[in-house]
Structure 1
Amino acid sequence: MKTIKVIYWTGTGNTEKMAHAVVEGAKEEGANVDLLFVTDATAEDVKSADAVALGCPAMGAEELEETCFRPFVDEIKPLLSGKATALFGSYEWADGQWMKEWVEEMEDCGARLVADGLIAYDDPDEDALYDCKLLGRDLARS
């Protein structure tokens, strides 16, 4: 059984809703899934997982949350080389540039992305949450 860690940060709850949908999809494929708020996650969680999903909304000038999430991502980048990885998050302005840059950053560190990065505008609607479930399924199959 594949072990997946879904690690996220949320400020308004939108990305948390997405995280729960990713978990649901992965569990539908039989994966053993742990959902962790980023402050509860460790590098060992990432190292021991077969696959990881990382979720963070766009913040500030379209960037990852700087206090908790960015330092965690910087810490785990060496552990992502060759690991099945999914990225997701919500945004409320601009065009999702933060996700494009995050995808590129993860590709540069060798992460094996299962998708290009899933974004949802504001409060994720039913279609966005369904896409999150599909992302979780794809991650479990990877």
Structure 2
Amino acid sequence: MKKAVVYTSTTGNTEAMAKAVAVGVQSSGAELVFGTPGTVSADEVLSCDVIILGSPAMGDEEVEEEMEGFYTSIEAGLSGKKVAVFGSYDWGDGQWLRSWTERIAAAGAAVVSKDGLAGHLEPDAECTAQCESLGKTA
């Protein structure tokens, strides 16, 4: 089993979540591909059995621009893949993750968590545990 964790982070909160997800992936025994859109390729990510994407909420609850571009580059290859999303926010109610999971489902992927995993600001112990669980079970 091979799992990718790809994220963008503007304040470090989503990065902390991504690192916790990676801990869960490693504890599951899966091979891990880990990085940001600038450090991993679309082909490398699409070769994975599970793809876990992270983005903070930006603007009017939207996926961060660099992650949006990366997601668009892999979207056509998601059919039949198992995909999960996560991210941090300061305001709003998680709409960016719900919208993102709808797009993922429309691309033919199996969405791991319908609403995604949202963490408010810096991940606390509960959020970190949820991130690790996501990496382990996705």
TMscore range, shorter length: over 0.9
Q: Would you say the 8 A contact 2:33–2:45 is kept in 1? A: no
What is residue 4 of structure 1 aligned with on the other side?
A: 3
User: Aligned Cα RMSD in Å?
Assistant: 0.9
What is residue 78 of structure 1 aligned with on the other side?
A: 76
Pick the aligned partner of 2:103 from 101, 105, 112: 105
2:19 is the alignment partner of 1:20: yes
The SS at the match of 1:5 is strand
The separation in 1 between residues aligned to 2:75 and 2:33, in whole angstroms, is: 19
2:48 is the alignment partner of 1:49: yes
The separation in 2 between residues aligned to 1:77 and 1:14, in whole angstroms, is: 25
The SS at the match of 1:90 is strand
Give 1:65 deviation, angstroms: 1.1
Residues 4-56 of structure 1: per-residue CA shift (max 9 Å, x gap):
11000000000011111111111111111121112112111122111111000
What is residue 131 of structure 1 aligned with on the other side?
A: 130
Q: Which runs of 5+ in 2 are unaligned?
A: none
Matched residue pairs, number?
137
Give 1:74 deviation, angstroms: 0.7
Q: Which runs of 5+ in 1 are unaligned?
A: none
The separation in 1 between residues aligned to 2:135 and 2:53, in whole angstroms, is: 11
